[in-house]
Amino acid sequence: MPTTAAPTPQAPKYVYDFSEGHKDLKDLLGGKGANLAEMTNLGLPVPPGFTISTDACRAYLAAGRAPDGLDAQVGDYLAALETRMGRKLGDPEDPLLVSVRSGAKFSMPGMMETVLNIGLSDASVSGLAAKAGDERFAWDSYRRLIQMFGKTVLDIDGEHFEEALEASKRAKNVATDVELDAADLSVLVDSYKAIVREQSGRDFPQDPREQMDLAIRAVFDSWNTERAMLYRRQERIPHDLGTAVNIVAMVFGNLGPASPDAISNSGTGVAFTRDPATGHSGVYGDYLPNAQGEDVVAGIRNTLSLTELENLDKTSYDELMRIMSVLESHYRDLCDIEFTIERGKLWMLQTRVGKRTAAAAFLIASNLVDEEVITPDEALDRVNGNQLAQLMFPQFDLSGTPKRIAKGMNASPGAAVGRAVFDSYTAIKWSRSGERVILIRRETNPDDLGGMIAAQGILTSRGGKTSHAAVVARGMGKTCVCGAEELDVDTKARRLTAPAGVVIEEGDLVSIDGSSGAIYAGEVPVMPSPVVEYFEGRLGPDSSHADELVRAVHRIMTWADEKRALYVRANADTPDDAARARRFGAQGIGLCRTEHMFLGERRTLVERLILAEDDSERRKVLAELLPMQRDDFVGILTAMGGLPVTVRLLDPPLHEFLPDLTELSVRVAVAEARGEEHENDLRLLQAVHKLHEANPMLGLRGVRLGLVVPGLFIMQVRAIAEAAAQVAKAGGVARVEIMVPLVGAVQELEIIRDEARSVLDEVTETTGADIRALIGTMIELPRAALTAGQIAEAAEFFSFGTNDLTQTTWGFSRDDVEAAFFSAYLDRGIFGVSPFETLDRDGVGRLVSVAAEEGRAARPGLKLGVCGEHGGDPDSVHFFHDVGLDYVSCSPFRVPVARLEAARAAVNNPRA
Amino acid sequence: MPTTAAPTPQAPKYVYDFSEGHKDLKDLLGGKGANLAEMTNLGLPVPPGFTISTDACRAYLAAGRAPDGLDAQVGDYLAALETRMGRKLGDPEDPLLVSVRSGAKFSMPGMMETVLNIGLSDASVSGLAAKAGDERFAWDSYRRLIQMFGKTVLDIDGEHFEEALEASKRAKNVATDVELDAADLSVLVDSYKAIVREQSGRDFPQDPREQMDLAIRAVFDSWNTERAMLYRRQERIPHDLGTAVNIVAMVFGNLGPASPDAISNSGTGVAFTRDPATGHSGVYGDYLPNAQGEDVVAGIRNTLSLTELENLDKTSYDELMRIMSVLESHYRDLCDIEFTIERGKLWMLQTRVGKRTAAAAFLIASNLVDEEVITPDEALDRVNGNQLAQLMFPQFDLSGTPKRIAKGMNASPGAAVGRAVFDSYTAIKWSRSGERVILIRRETNPDDLGGMIAAQGILTSRGGKTSHAAVVARGMGKTCVCGAEELDVDTKARRLTAPAGVVIEEGDLVSIDGSSGAIYAGEVPVMPSPVVEYFEGRLGPDSSHADELVRAVHRIMTWADEKRALYVRANADTPDDAARARRFGAQGIGLCRTEHMFLGERRTLVERLILAEDDSERRKVLAELLPMQRDDFVGILTAMGGLPVTVRLLDPPLHEFLPDLTELSVRVAVAEARGEEHENDLRLLQAVHKLHEANPMLGLRGVRLGLVVPGLFIMQVRAIAEAAAQVAKAGGVARVEIMVPLVGAVQELEIIRDEARSVLDEVTETTGADIRALIGTMIELPRAALTAGQIAEAAEFFSFGTNDLTQTTWGFSRDDVEAAFFSAYLDRGIFGVSPFETLDRDGVGRLVSVAAEEGRAARPGLKLGVCGEHGGDPDSVHFFHDVGLDYVSCSPFRVPVARLEAARAAVNNPRA
């Protein structure tokens, strides 16, 4: 066939016969088309057909009309199909019918359009009846065509057709459409045609080729419906891919005996090549005799287990088993398939690598390695960090079969339990008095921020995964279920009403599952994740309590650690965090923040430091802080037992340690108004005023503090050095990396480095300990990245602070803008994902690349790492691997995710 | 000579005979050395000698010792010098003496070291006496050598030598050292040698080569004295240049008759080749018979006018006139020279292009063109924008000879008059009651900020040009004189005491001149600058009132406008500003900010807009604002009469239009405490709370506002379009460029552009007017620059907002950090100059280059401009010319500066 259908001269090739494609052409042919082609070439029984490429769709959408050459190419391929089938599209005697099915690169279930039975017309309906020997089947097929075509191609409200169908049933006084006979359906076809004329102002097209062309355009157009765009935004599918269109010869699973009760040798079904929950071998699927795919979806009748097909039609069953085995060895993974049996002949309508739960992904990957179907490297590619993260959240214990009252969108994972509250004020008040609360709103807005912070979880009845609630909750790492539209939230009455009349009043306990979207009345017990138990070392992979999943995770993590090129460190500020990080597999601390060490009881010391009016007072305070800081570092260095620890010198603005300006001003003013004593507050207020900044994020912090507050950084360096010496004296090993924050110019770093180096030398000399500390800097300002070549001359390592780098590169502060407009930005497609979640490669990533490259050029072997939150984000980890960093550092709980993704990055892009 | 002095094998060449250099080798030989070489090659009488290069200095400073090969090369060149002079260094019979003089690329008067008379010793002093026939001269020279050597090379406190000299005079009972005879001086030499031994622990070196080598090292070391480093920071001279060292055979202007009263045929002088104030031809200089250069500097005797030399020594005078004429035609500029006559023989000791006042620079350049010495292009290179800016400040009218009480550093130009206040609180209080004040402090710190803002000018008695007062005042554009050390500032007594017992009490009038550093008691009348009068059109260049300066400025600006490639626009928000900008030569408005149009009476409308609870209220407010905005734009477009006007859509955070959070909180709390009515304030407080941002600079502003507040930008675009249509209907021409601020991603711009374009189309259709508006964006975020290729697809022009770009690239907000730490940063050499004054080329400039290049690659011919304050900064204008921008835009007063500097940039780097 392809030989007869050369592309029109000068026009690009837009159409591909199934025999011309293969499974790796998903970009061009979409997922469905590529897999139909693959099966065709495997010699499996696929109904003949061809695919119109995504190129054609993109050209159509760009120009607003079919590109030159497309219609001619479709004509050529259709002619070839007709020749092969020995029937012509819409032939009145013996019509060829086709389906027109969308099929994009990524599955978008229910989002796109499909039209079946194209080719039927007033003329050909009787030809079909004659050939099939089934008049009712022919009129029912025609009725379905007009209905489907009217809705999807001509954009007619489906209600009109439903009403006509109802009227028809009422006229005949029957309950179901199966009871309508050929004559009834023929009358219904007339009503349908009248509806088309009335609603669209045109007749239902009788020309089969016109039917087909209009259906193709409708599929193209369906790419840009609001529903499809929303879905893509939520699933992070790019908007510019376009969809392919598959034209497939119709086969009929409903072409059986006329009586629905008779045993049929037609039918339709779906199947998995192995157990999708565990990956174990076996027969898993559903079968519906005498039916078409849409009937399965509609759920009119109960399906049979696939095993029963063996009894009904052993030949087809054996053939299906053979094909499934071919597919599995070919795809080397669990596949799901759709098939139809038309009068004893098995046809494959679709296959794809099957979707699976997070747990199943790990189990299947592990099992396939055991069966020697895939290698450990391939196993790493079959799982991902998001799945692992999902397995690490605590889970509801559903063994008590709690009452699920509704389901919303799984916007931010976790299992949260608390008392229902319906406004932010109550959330804050109750939480302050020790209650756990779930904040329930129709939708949230910036006013709800306080309540969201106070709540265990957030539940809304409106808005999708890019709504304010979802975006902000994910940013906070807080459990959220959103858009639970079955719920009626009445904030005035402080009550929510769920389906079946379930009512939750303020104060009632409610449980929400951010991983599944399930909402339960009452308190559902929460179980720790067995995977976390394993990482924590409380559940060995070989212990009797370990289940299959834990063993699979263990094996895959072992392979991951062997594979990855990136080291993984953790961000940890306390010995406890450090110890947990090690248990989770961290190979060091990439960010030990010292500001947390200045809180609690030491806050008053810091206040004294800030208010110090002369050097002697300042020195006195620093001397008091020194031994405390030293103890902090001894603790952490000991916990890390010789692994590298990167200590960041004090970063935040000093005024963060002082009272809030507004609160203090109010206190002073009120005291004044009441004539009360307020001398101390007034003095404090003056200091706070002096240090107040309009934009503290862009103010006196980081290295600027170190350069302006005499002795501060030096005290910290001395504490680090003395701690390292103490650890060494106790027989331990201390590997410290001293990190100077917020450097924008090499000169800043040089001054601090020289001061720090002389303190290190001095402590080395006094203690005799061998303190081998590196001195480096964070790269967290655009200027640092842009002058990395200069800065590398003075830095022994770089650590990319991608949180701050994102803030300055984009010019927005996370605290301010995430709640204010990220939701709108995601909805309008300005971001696909918040740049604070996944590294923005074009902007921030470009700076990281430039700095890595120019830093290493200036100082070969310069140690490079990242300590922003992106260090634990799967997509970002791949980027960091690709640009050649030495390590990523993230929160302890993300360490396993980073380990896994680092390995997956190494599989995809091995380092030389 | 050079043939005998090949560089040591493998060592670089460090030493150059005067015959080996020329005037363009200042980087290598320093200014003095290069010009001595130039004069030598012109055949002028320069004492023989050689120069040790700055390479040698840098190598010495880096290694801490003389680089390999240097001593040998110096030996070779010295030997050649001795051969040529027929005398040997320090020869007891007939010693060759040399001076060792520093000479960096840029003149650093008084900063570096010089030692004269090297080669004298106990042995050679009598040889010199015999040869010179003057024993007193020989002993005096030896005494001076030991004194100078002791101080500069051996670092001995000069007091010791002064005391010994005093003692000697007391013993002889005479008043001046001229009265000491040879015997006295010989005894004094013994005392000096004892001082050297006592203070330095070593004997004064008798080996003349050792004297020379130590002196050379002392000159090298003098590069890094604190004094020299401070000077370089203040004058923005790079620290890594190093200094050259000149070894010159001594000639003696004091080798005359023994009696000081006799007519002498020796002497020394300084001269200009023409009048340094006006550029007119003539003889300008001073002469001191029977003296050496240092005596002129010491000012012991009154100098004669150079014209008198003609009577004293006509031969030398004529020779000097001839040489000055040679130098002028050779350097094609005013030169200043130093010369010495030794017994009737004229020697040239130095020449350089002469320093001049700002006014003189313009006059000289204009006159030299008239004399056909230089071309108009060269004239442009002889003046600069800083000089022009200086001429544009108002000046004190000194015709009434006001009482100058002291002089400080000219830290920030301008002429300010006001009542003396000694603390910030009083400054604010008095200024609120309408008084003009001058804030006088010993030094300022961040607490003084309010007072600095309130004052007309700032005067300090401590700190240099990088002190807090100087940095902050320059940032504010406020007059400042700093470091007036003669003043005793007593802030407790609220009084300053100047030399000669002048006392200024709080409330007394005082006048300070930030351009000269002069401080006057009382009110000195201020005159407008005639140059501004000329730009304003109130003083035509050919009018009878125009002076020579105005005519020179007029001619040079005419040449500049012919030469420059950059267009110059102005930042102007009102019709008045726009009109002034045109008078100052602006070719359009590069930044018309619309936020200023929302202040005053309209503030309540904005408050309503922000507090609007539904769309209908919001629409109502926008409808009220529309005609007001339209009138704003009609005014500006009319004032610009067809020149392009770039209108920036609303940029600042909306909360800037609301009351301050702290003030409002205090008001509410106090009202509550007093039981007063505060319902309205409470409501307002809630809104302010909701909009409050931790870092408003990084918050909801710019295009984010446009995307989040429905209708806001569209109202502005409609107002622009309707205004343009109205102007066109009235027969005018409107060229509008609509600028979207704070874009970080092309998607933001696309949405606003599409909305704006459809409003423009609609207004075009309704009015029938031809509205040809461009739509473009500011590039003011690093991400915008990094993704400029994408953004250019949607932008018809870029305007670089370098203020914001500097803030985000460096991660500091100008308001917060300038006062907090820029002074420390300048002092520690982290900046050479504030990056808000002069564009930081390595960081911000790199982003500008990248964006210009990638923007133009994506959209050839993309219009590029800059509208940050850097658009009026000389150095930055050169950068913008070099990267190929189309225009710069700056405040109206800087427009002439930008015009001139754009031309100078074109002279230095012509565009293809």
Indicate the pairing of strand B503-505 with strand A95-96: unpaired
- Based on its alpha-carbon atoms, the radius of gyration of chain B, rounded to whole angstroms, reads 33
Q: How confident is the model at residue B631 (pLDDT cuts 50, 70, 90)?
A: very high
pLDDT value of position B434: 92
In angstroms, rounded to a whole number, what is the distance separating the alpha carbons of residues A686 and B318?
72
pLDDT value of position B259: 47
pLDDT value of position B1: 42
User: Among A286, A289, A285, A287, which residue's Cα sits nearest to residue A265?
Assistant: A289
Residue with tokens 């060149």: B77
pLDDT digits (tens, 9 = 90+) for A447-482: 788 899 899 999 999 877 777 888 788 877 899 999
pLDDT value of position A568: 98
Indicate the pairing of strand A415-421 with strand A509-513: antiparallel
- Summarize the confidence of residues B110-125 as an average pLDDT: 87
User: Could you say which of B695, B781, B840 has the minimum Cβ distance to residue A695?
Assistant: B695
- Based on its alpha-carbon atoms, the radius of gyration of chain A, rounded to whole angstroms, reads 33
- Structural contact between residues A366 and A552, judged by C-beta atoms closer than 8 angstroms: yes
In angstroms, rounded to a whole number, what is the distance separating the alpha carbons of residues A743 and A476?
27
Q: Percentage of chain B surpassing pLDDT 70?
A: 96
Give the CB-side neighbour count of residue B446, counting CA atoms within 13 A. Answer: 20
pLDDT value of position A233: 67
- Summarize the confidence of residues B626-631 as an average pLDDT: 95
Does the pLDDT value for residue A1 go beyond 80?
no
pLDDT digits (tens, 9 = 90+) for A667-726: 999 998 888 888 888 888 888 888 888 899 999 999 999 998 889 999 999 999 999 999
Does the pLDDT value for residue B298 go beyond 60?
no
Does the pLDDT value for residue B235 go beyond 70?
no
What value does the mean pLDDT of chain A take? Answer: 91
- Summarize the confidence of residues B391-408 as an average pLDDT: 91
For residue A468, indicate whether it is catalytic: yes
| Greater pLDDT, A737 or A543 | A737
Beta strands in B756-859 (DSSP E): 774-779, 797-800
Contact A698 B698 (CB under 8 A): yes
Neighboring chain A residues of B670 at a CB cutoff of 8 Å? 669-670, 673
CA–chain centroid gap for A292, Å, is 33
Contact A781 B809 (CB under 8 A): yes
pLDDT value of position B9: 58
CA–chain centroid gap for A551, Å, is 25
pLDDT value of position B718: 97
Contact B707 A751 (CB under 8 A): no
User: Could you say which of A446, A694, A820 has the minimum Cβ distance to residue B813?
Assistant: A694
Does the pLDDT value for residue B27 go beyond 70?
yes
Does the pLDDT value for residue B55 go beyond 60?
yes
Residue with tokens 């050499």: B829
Does the pLDDT value for residue B283 go beyond 70?
yes
DSSP symbol at A821: I
Contact B783 A811 (CB under 8 A): yes
Indicate the pairing of strand B15-17 with strand A589-593: unpaired
CA–chain centroid gap for A173, Å, is 50
Which CA distances in Å does B598 have to A21, A308, B651, B699? 62, 76, 11, 19
Does the pLDDT value for residue A380 go beyond 50?
yes
Query: Considering all CA atoms of chain B, what is the largest pairwise distance in Å, rounded to the nearest integer?
Result: 107
| Greater pLDDT, A816 or A891 | A891
In angstroms, rounded to a whole number, what is the distance separating the alpha carbons of residues A635 and A649?
17
Burial class (CB in 10 A: 0-12, 13-18, 19+), A734: buried
SS3 category, B303: coil
Mutate to test the interface with B, among A809, A822, A839 (most CBs of B within 10 A): A809
- In sequence order, the β-bridge partners of residue B510 are B418, B521
pLDDT digits (tens, 9 = 90+) for A809-842: 999 998 788 777 888 888 787 887 889 999 999 9
| Greater pLDDT, B543 or B23 | B23
Contact A816 B781 (CB under 8 A): no
Does the pLDDT value for residue B295 go beyond 80?
no
User: Among A748, A720, A703, A711, which residue's Cα sits nearest to residue A646?
Assistant: A720
User: Which residue is closest to A447 within chain B, CA to CA?
Assistant: B690
- Structural contact between residues A61 and A225, judged by C-beta atoms closer than 8 angstroms: no
Contact B748 A447 (CB under 8 A): no
Beta strands in B762-892 (DSSP E): 774-779, 797-800, 863-866, 887-890
pLDDT digits (tens, 9 = 90+) for B463-517: 777 778 888 888 778 999 998 989 999 999 999 999 988 999 999 999 999 988 9
Neighboring chain B residues of A446 at a CB cutoff of 8 Å? 690
Mutate to test the interface with A, among B610, B808, B844 (most CBs of A within 10 A): B808
Q: Chain A to chain B, count of Cβ pairs less than 8 Å apart?
A: 197
CA–chain centroid gap for B86, Å, is 47
Q: Is B161 left (phi over 0), alpha (psi -120 to 50) or beta?
A: alpha
The reported pTM is 0.87
pLDDT digits (tens, 9 = 90+) for A633-665: 999 999 999 999 999 999 988 778 888 899 999
pLDDT value of position A458: 96
User: Among B775, B779, B716, B709, which residue's Cα sits nearest to residue B743?
Assistant: B779
- Summarize the confidence of residues B738-758 as an average pLDDT: 96
Contact A782 B829 (CB under 8 A): no
In angstroms, rounded to a whole number, what is the distance separating the alpha carbons of residues A499 and A681?
56
A586's tokens: 């961290």
User: Which residue is closest to B850 within chain A, CA to CA?
Assistant: A786
Contact B808 A782 (CB under 8 A): yes
SS3 category, B631: helix
pLDDT value of position A261: 52
- How close does chain B come to A613, measured CA to CA in Å? 13
pLDDT digits (tens, 9 = 90+) for A48-63: 999 999 999 999 998 8
Does the pLDDT value for residue B785 go beyond 80?
yes
How far the first Cα of chain A sits from its last, in Å, is 45
User: Could you say which of B690, B782, B820 has the minimum Cβ distance to residue A782?
Assistant: B782
User: Could you say which of B742, B747, B812 has the minimum Cβ distance to residue A830?
Assistant: B747
* Catalytic annotation, residues of B: 468, 867
Contacts of B220 (CB under 8 A, 6+ apart): B56, B57, B60, B61, B242, B243, B245
| Greater pLDDT, A9 or A586 | A586
User: Among B358, B409, B400, B389, which residue's Cα sits nearest to residue B519?
Assistant: B409
- How close does chain A come to B744, measured CA to CA in Å? 6
- How close does chain B come to A551, measured CA to CA in Å? 45
pLDDT digits (tens, 9 = 90+) for B60-116: 998 889 999 999 999 999 999 999 999 999 999 999 999 999 999 988 766 667 899
- Summarize the confidence of residues B357-383 as an average pLDDT: 93
pLDDT value of position A122: 95
SS3 category, B166: helix
Q: Percentage of chain A surpassing pLDDT 90?
A: 69
User: Could you say which of B708, B781, B842 has the minimum Cβ distance to residue A821?
Assistant: B708
pLDDT value of position A236: 67
Contacts of A196 (CB under 8 A, 6+ apart): A146, A150, A154, A156, A202, A203, A204
Question: What's the angle, vertex CA B506, arms to CA B521 and CA B398, rounded to 5?
Answer: 15
What does the DSSP assignment read for B602-617?
GHHHHHHHHH--SHHH
User: Could you say which of B673, B781, B843 has the minimum Cβ distance to residue A783?
Assistant: B843
Mutate to test the interface with A, among B611, B748, B783, B846 (most CBs of A within 10 A): B783
CA–chain centroid gap for B147, Å, is 36
- Summarize the confidence of residues A285-305 as an average pLDDT: 74
Neighboring chain A residues of B783 at a CB cutoff of 8 Å? 809-811, 840, 842-844
Q: Percentage of chain B surpassing pLDDT 90?
A: 69
pLDDT value of position A869: 87
A485's tokens: 């539209």
Contact A742 B816 (CB under 8 A): no
User: Could you say which of B447, B813, B824 has the minimum Cβ distance to residue A698?
Assistant: B813
- Summarize the confidence of residues A246-270 as an average pLDDT: 77
Contact A783 B807 (CB under 8 A): no
pLDDT digits (tens, 9 = 90+) for B249-270: 999 887 866 444 556 688 999 8
In angstroms, rounded to a whole number, what is the distance separating the alpha carbons of residues B879 and A538?
64
Neighboring chain B residues of A744 at a CB cutoff of 8 Å? 810-812, 843
What value does the mean pLDDT of chain B take? Answer: 91
DSSP symbol at B10: T
User: Which residue is closest to A744 within chain B, CA to CA?
Assistant: B810
In angstroms, rounded to a whole number, what is the distance separating the alpha carbons of residues A437 and A512?
11
A248's tokens: 């497939």
User: Which residue is closest to A840 within chain B, CA to CA?
Assistant: B783
In angstroms, rounded to a whole number, what is the distance separating the alpha carbons of residues A443 and A447?
11
In angstroms, rounded to a whole number, what is the distance separating the alpha carbons of residues B108 and B31?
10
